[in-house]
Amino acid sequence: MRFTLKAMGLGIAATLMALPAVAQQAPLKTLRIAMTAADVPTTTGMPNNGFEGMRFLGYPVFEGLVLWDLSRADRPAGLRPGLAESWRQDPNDPQTWLFTLREGVRFHDGTPFNADAVIWNLERYFNNQSPQFEAQGSAITRARIPIMESYRKVDERTIAFRTNRVASYFPYMAVYILFTSPKSFEDGGRDWARVAALPPAGTGPFRLSRFVPRTSAELSKNDQYWDRTRIPRLDRVLLLPMPEATTRLAALRSGQVDWIEVPPPDAIPSLRQAGFNITTGSYPHVWPWFFQMGGETPFRDVRVRQGLNYCVDRAGLVQLLNGTAEPSVGWLKPNDPNFGTPQNRYSFDPARGRALLAEAGFNAQRPLSFKVMISTSGSGQMLPLPMNEFLQQNLRQACGVNVTFEVTEWNTLLQATRSSPGAPVLAGSLALNPSSPSSDPSVMARYFLQAFVPPNGFNWPQFNDPEFETAFAALERATNESEFNAAYARAHTRLVDNPPWLYIVHDLNPRAMHRRVRGFTSAQSWFQDLVPVDIQ
């Protein structure tokens, strides 16, 4: 009998070896990611949900003419060629930039990426009268590229952009214009709501293969990707919105997901002990409060803004976060070569903070009181509820400041950053708590130049500092690195000494992964590269 069973086993093995290769394929490699977003980012090719939407449903699927170089962890991410193989500033007209398009690129639906497709997408974002105009995608894109004046097709491989001011940093804005196949719009009956469910076609290393509103989005490997050196190792990526940190933690521990954004800080030691990988890294990103300086508000007085910056116990907040953040005393980090030489070096100095508030007329008998709009979760927000509760108690105990909160959803908070003073969406709030990249001067322009107060950009505080404007103008017109860096440092000095924000912390981009996840590089960027990631 034993001989018969052995013979039968050999026969089965021989049969399996003789089967076609397709029957013996390895299972699909699927990476399951729990995002902090409360919903799946929009899927038309310009995702909402802030930069978390761009990280997961933007760049992997829909690319720009310029891309971030996310290949290294030892320096801040720079730029690399994307759908444009090169770009240059017109020497005869520095407000004009010329982009040379890459040849041989096709959208996921097989249609060619070319100059006509570029113009079609630009009309989608910047021309309200175009048939393909998309209101939500336009609002997001215009807020990120507020200096666009015009664009035109020069020839089949060249696009000219003209900006409304000289801008040495324009390529850092071009990185936020994503491209969708015009055929997707036609296939959806010229209705962007229907296009979102198709799903639409981009040019990226992943395709959007399935979308379930409020539940999940599935990305699949694009094995026909134009850069043959960057074919993804993963077959699929499943994106799951989980705004509650404890929910994400439970999903990771139970094996429902392989990767979570922003694990609860107090759970990090036990996750490490259990064999999960925790990645952190310093990168250009800041978690502040924006002060509303327009209209009748206490923040018109620089002493109030400086005083509050001396009242914050940043070290205590970092301790609450279990070391997953570092103190912020400016828009840039103190070790950044362009930090400048401000007179104010903010630290936890309640006596100095109270003295400045008293000079401005606020004391125990007349305490400073205001409302801050905060979110429950969201892109780059870490743990906004406990963090803001810490700040509320800290400011009351250290400097007698009374803070209340307007708690809202992340996308509503983003909408508020594009509103004017006193807008109904603010519900009486005089400060906002979004987070922001601090990666390059193009972001600095959008947040701090007077020209970019809402609806033109994100200068919600209505910041207007002549010294800053002068320094930034020199940066925009700089023709060499030395001039550029000197002007950048002068501009940042004004952001510290005349602070439009309460600088609180720079987060360290924490995420937790199962040890089966391999090949991830924690780039010094808000964005991350999924292409080299593998799962065992």
Could you give the 3-state DSSP secondary structure of residue 19? coil
- The reply to whether 85 and 128 lie within a common domain is yes
Residue 16, pLDDT > 80, answer: no
What's the mean pLDDT in 489-507? 97
Residue 13, pLDDT > 50, answer: no
Look up the domain containing 156 and give its range.
Answer: 63-182
Residue type, 30: T
What's the mean pLDDT in 452-467? 93
- The reply to whether 147 and 84 lie within a common domain is yes
Q: Classify residue 14: in a domain, yes or no.
A: no
- The reply to whether 402 and 492 lie within a common domain is yes
- The reply to whether 312 and 423 lie within a common domain is yes
How many domains is the chain built from? 3
Which pTM does this prediction carry? 0.85
Question: What are the CA-CA distances from residue 148 to residues 143, 228, 437, 456, 502 (Å)?
Answer: 10, 33, 21, 11, 30
The 3-state DSSP composition of the chain as helix, strand, coil percent (nearest 5) reads 35, 20, 45
- The reply to whether 322 and 455 lie within a common domain is yes
At residue 24 the predicted structure's pLDDT band, cuts being 50, 70 and 90, is low
Nearest to 70 by CA among 520, 534, 535: 520
Q: Classify residue 89: in a domain, yes or no.
A: yes
- The reply to whether 326 and 446 lie within a common domain is yes
- The reply to whether 273 and 289 lie within a common domain is no
> Could you give phi then psi for residue 44, rounded to 5 degrees?
-85, -10
DSSP 107-134: -TTSPBP-HHHHHHHHHHHH-TTSTT--
Q: Classify residue 3: in a domain, yes or no.
A: no
Q: Count CA within 13 A, CB hemisphere, residue 118.
A: 24
- What CATH number is associated with residue 153? 3.90.76.10
At residue 5 the predicted structure's pLDDT band, cuts being 50, 70 and 90, is very low
Q: Classify residue 11: in a domain, yes or no.
A: no
Q: Which of 182, 217, 240 is the last residue of a domain?
A: 182
Q: Classify residue 8: in a domain, yes or no.
A: no
- The reply to whether 332 and 451 lie within a common domain is yes
Looking at residue 319, its pLDDT comes to: 95
Q: Classify residue 15: in a domain, yes or no.
A: no
- The reply to whether 379 and 493 lie within a common domain is yes
Looking at residue 1, its pLDDT comes to: 32
- Site of tokens 């979110």: 375
Provide the mean pLDDT of the chain.
92
Token digits of residue 271: 């996750």
- The reply to whether 178 and 244 lie within a common domain is no
- The reply to whether 342 and 447 lie within a common domain is yes
> Percentage of residues in the chain with pLDDT exceeding 70?
95
pLDDT in tens, 147-204: 999 999 999 999 999 999 999 999 999 999 999 999 999 999 999 999 998 889 999 9
At residue 328 the predicted structure's pLDDT band, cuts being 50, 70 and 90, is very high
Q: Which of 131, 149, 182 is the last residue of a domain?
A: 182
Token digits of residue 104: 């041989």
Looking at residue 11, its pLDDT comes to: 37
Looking at residue 4, its pLDDT comes to: 33
Distance from C-alpha of 87 to C-alpha of 99, rounded to nearest angstrom: 4
Q: Classify residue 190: in a domain, yes or no.
A: no
- What CATH number is associated with residue 228? 3.40.190.10
Nearest to 506 by CA among 323, 286, 335, 281: 286
Determine if residue 110 is left, alpha or beta; phi over 0 gives left, psi from -120 to 50 gives alpha, anything else beta: left
At residue 50 the predicted structure's pLDDT band, cuts being 50, 70 and 90, is confident
Token digits of residue 124: 């989608």
Q: Classify residue 314: in a domain, yes or no.
A: yes
Cβ atoms of 443 and 472 closer than 8 Å: no
Residue 14, pLDDT > 90, answer: no
- What CATH number is associated with residue 423? 3.10.105.10
- The reply to whether 426 and 319 lie within a common domain is yes
Nearest to 238 by CA among 264, 256, 262: 256
Distance from C-alpha of 292 to C-alpha of 220, rounded to nearest angstrom: 44
Beta bridge partners of residue 219, listed in sequence order = 208, 237
